[in-house]
Amino acid sequence: MEFHIKEAAARVGLPTHTLRYYEQEGLLPFVKRDDNGNRIFEEADLTWLEFIVCLRKTDIALSELRKIVELTQEGECTFALRKQIFEKHKEKMMEKQRELDIAFKKIETKIEYYDKLEKKYQEEKESVSPKA
């Protein structure tokens, strides 16, 4: 099945200008064009785009994605190099996760602090208000 850029963009949840940008950046070298020069996306292209979207959510650099594409085009002899890029990125993600875990704990602590303040405030308010 083939898709034009609007359909492909909708399928992967990106604006069309982002797909054009990714192509300009060398991330979509496999996308074909019809006789009028319109991009034609196939299922494999959409699968690759979904993978790009996933990786971009993890803050991978476009330069790293471009390198993966270049290595992919070079063939099977680059498996180890591609794997290294992903291992390095995984380490960055793990470090970021550790940082987020620390931040999450600090936020939880602050919420607990405010819970205690609210409870104390309510108790003081109840002890001061006249009872019927």
CA atoms within 13 A on the CB side of 4: 6
Q: Is residue 18 part of a domain?
A: yes
Query: Do 49 and 96 share a structural domain?
Result: no
Q: What's 77's DSSP letter?
A: G
pLDDT of residue 52: 95
Give 41's strand partners: 3
Q: Is residue 63 part of a domain?
A: no
Domain count, the chain: 2
Mean pLDDT, the chain cut into blocks of 10 residues (132 residues total): 96 96 94 94 96 94 95 95 97 97 98 96 84 60
pLDDT of residue 131: 62
Domain with 125, as residue range(s), is: 79-132
Task: Write down the pTM of the prediction.
Answer: 0.77
C-alpha 131/C-alpha 127 separation (Å) is 9
C-alpha 49/C-alpha 10 separation (Å) is 11
Q: Is residue 20 part of a domain?
A: yes
Query: Do 84 and 119 share a structural domain?
Result: yes
Q: Is residue 85 part of a domain?
A: yes
Query: Do 48 and 1 share a structural domain?
Result: yes
